[in-house]
Amino acid sequence: MSGFGVAQPVRRVEDQRFIRGVGRYTDDIILPRQAYAYLLRSPHAHARITAIDVTAARALPGVLGVHLLDDVEAAGLKRIRCDVPMDNRDGTRRANPTRTLLAGDTVRHVGDPVALIVAESLAIAREAAEAVSIDYAPLPAVSTMQAAAREDAALVWPDAPANRCFDWEIGDKAQSDALFARAARIVSVEVDNNRVVVASMEGRACNAEFVKGRFRIHAGTQGSHWLRNALAPVIGVRNEDVQVLTPDVGGGFGMKIFVYAEYALCAFAARLHGRPVKWTAERGEAFLSDTGGRSQIMRARLAVDEAGHFLALDVHNIAEMGAYLSPFSVFIPTMAGTKVLPSVYRFQSVYARVEGLFTNTPAIDAYRGAGRPESNYLVERLVDRAADELGIDRIVLRKRNMVKSSQMPWKAALGSIYDSGDFAGTMQIALDAIDWKGAAGRKRLARKQGLRRGIGIGYYLEATGGDPSERAEIRFAAEGHVDVLVGTQSTGQGHETAYTQLIADRLGIEPAHVRIVQGDSDRMKSGGGTGGARSLYSEGSAIHAAAQIVVDKGRSAAADVFEAAANDVEFRNGHFTIIGTDRRIGLIALAQELRQRGQDPATLLDGAVDTPIAAHTFPNGCHAAEIELDPATGVVRVVSYAVADDMGTIVNPMIVAGQIHGGVAQGIGQALMEHTVFDDSGQMLSASFMDYALPRAGDLPDIDVKLHEVACTTNPLGVKGAGEAGAVGSCPAVMNALQDALSEWGVSVDMPATPERVWRAIHSRPTG
């Protein structure tokens, strides 16, 4: 067991199959009599469909079917809904248009699916798509929030006046207004959280079967139970009539949580044609059919007293929804995003108003961090602006207003209870790691070379989320392995390793004998899936509880084997021992002994539990970035990066560092290069990697990760969650560093800070 317990930097056990090329993803699954689906999608962002002729397509050899909305709805399939409960500020209900699986008489974004084609091969299906004749009558489109908000804007939905989906608020506005009225200074900022493409390494895919009256859906998901429970009502059947199987998943980032039309359509086709039907997204198709991320225009005011103490925060956020409501979409900028608006500061009051607008673009929903990166970006940009206007050092201002560790637990302005944290101490670790004090010298040296340097930080607060309970089962298999069934789903994070470490630590079982089982909605009774950085603190707590059940049951079973009293048996280092003797037996050996005696380990030894999640956790930390700017070209390079993170007790520091590295890469990408762009007619201009700039290895610096462990008090493991933190703190750190470099010109640039934008800001400034 040496070297494989908790807190050890263990190499990921799942990587063995990935680096050997024996991982199994959804598109690798080919079933007997496999058929293939292709979606014919709209080339228009907004148009009426005046005529469709599928006769020629249906007549092609190898075509099994060409299906339109009427075919699908006649078979009993339903629409996709967003069921997040929400009222507007005035008490009325928000707009809630449902989404048909195929477009009926109107398409609402480029890529909106119009026809489902099922064929013997994908090539035949594509050929059939070209034979479908569709007449469109184009309509005016709104492709940006600014366009959607104009008084004369075309409406995406007739029953959503002014293209408004919702107008929501949180906080005590009267209290906030009173604090602003007596403020010594009010500081304002407006920022743009640019829309991004999720671009997971593995695209979405599904393969549907209809077997003995039940649907079996193979799909890359972030939780097989999540998809089953969402998909069954759309197909029009009971949950128990659907089995979802999730194999290996190559990245999710929130986008693979949701039910999509393609999954229900494949199920429809599999039942209709009596054959398995597979659909796999092409990369260009993913740009137009996956949910996008971010896309918010945020304005904030900060009330400060004479001593530089924060009094109140007032936020007005306009969030893009796209043309359709994805299942969680309205939740992201509202309940999720505002939860961390108080951040790590002692605001007396926080008030936020959030408006959601429809546009003729693909839907927006959760993307790594799901509302929290947007809010942290706003707050940290505002704090830097306040430091500049008040003439107070950026670090001094933050320390003056941070919640102190001695004040924990702390009730934040919007009601959340922070159980633990050392915010000032964590920030100092990051400052030391990046050599904040030495930045002035590096700036002087860069200037001599015709360059400029800037340094910045972003302190972030995360709030983990997800289902209020989680299940774990520990089963002793006949062949001598221990199967650990979990309700979460790894999409590349290293869950199998972390969970194996927990089992090795709690039960003393050799890692080679542990098998983590996930992704089968039939085999596991329930599961909360993966999202909101919830997996380790929720599933880990469930594994901890299930392991204790195994130990308690095993003590009695071992006592029977030893012919001793249970009180005389203790469990230590994976063995049951009669106290004061050398008689002992290991867990796996005990299971085998029970079988030899004709007894059932499932009854006498296995452990299963549904563990309630008493409270969510608040990972936090400080990102520090140093950038170098070439004024002649506008090119910005991140030359140094350090992170100090408080993620509670660490199970595997190597996995945590990897998660932070990935999140920072996504944040740097959004800050400096990624941008989803549509023209006025709703055509996506950044619809491939030729036009959409993802960061490459050469765009990223070495990322120095320091872990400051402040144990969480609300779960038995003391963990806080790590999956989203890298993406939550990186954008403000990079952009505050850039603003530091631009300060001599008195200009500002928002995300993405592309070379052209930076160059124009510098060289278009007013003179004289």
Q: Where are the domains of the chain?
A: 15-22+468-612, 419-464+617-763
Tens of pLDDT, residues 159-177? 999 999 999 999 999 999 9
CA distance 216 to 207: 8
Cβ atoms 330, 364 nearer than 8 A: no
Please provide the size of the chain in residues: 768
CATH 3.30.2290.10 fits 419-464+617-763, yes or no: no
Three-state DSSP state, 2: coil
Q: Which two tokens stand for residue 314?
A: 């007032």
Query: Quick one: average pLDDT of 106-116?
Result: 98
pLDDT exceeding 70 applies to what percent of the chain? 99
Query: Quick one: average pLDDT of 601-615?
Result: 93
Tens of pLDDT, residues 314-332? 999 999 999 999 999 999 9
CA quadruple 740, 744, 746, 751: dihedral sign = negative
CA distance 500 to 515: 8
Integer CA distances (angstroms), 501 to 200, 309, 530, in order: 27, 45, 19
CATH entry, 15-22+468-612, from 3.30.70.260, 3.30.365.10, 3.40.47.10, 3.40.50.720: 3.30.365.10
- Cβ neighbors of 343 (< 8 A, separation 6 or more) are 375, 376, 379, 380, 459, 460, 461
Read off the pLDDT band of 767 (50, 70, 90).
Answer: low
Bridge partners, 506 (sequence order)? none
pLDDT of residue 7: 87
pLDDT of residue 724: 93
pLDDT at 3 exceeding the cut of 80:
no
Query: Quick one: average pLDDT of 138-159?
Result: 97
CA distance 78 to 213: 19
Could you tell me the strand order of the sheet in which 63-67 lies? Answer: 63-67, 113-119, 35-41, 277-280, 205-211, 214-219, 242-245
pLDDT of residue 698: 94
Which is it for strands 242-245 and 482-486: parallel, antiparallel or unpaired?
unpaired
pLDDT at 335 exceeding the cut of 90:
yes
- Distance of alpha carbon 20 from its chain centroid, rounded? 28
CA distance 425 to 189: 27
pLDDT of residue 32: 98
Amino acid residing at 236: G
pLDDT of residue 2: 53
Within this chain, domains 15-22+468-612 and 419-464+617-763 share the same CATH topology: yes
Tens of pLDDT, residues 429-454? 999 999 999 999 999 999 999 999 99
pLDDT exceeding 90 applies to what percent of the chain? 96
Cα torsion for 474, 478, 481, 483, to the nearest 10°? -30
pLDDT at 505 exceeding the cut of 60:
yes
CA angle 643, 645, 647 (to 5 degrees): 155
pLDDT at 1 exceeding the cut of 60:
no
CA distance 285 to 282: 5
- Cβ neighbors of 71 (< 8 A, separation 6 or more) are none
- Cβ neighbors of 711 (< 8 A, separation 6 or more) are 420, 648, 649, 718
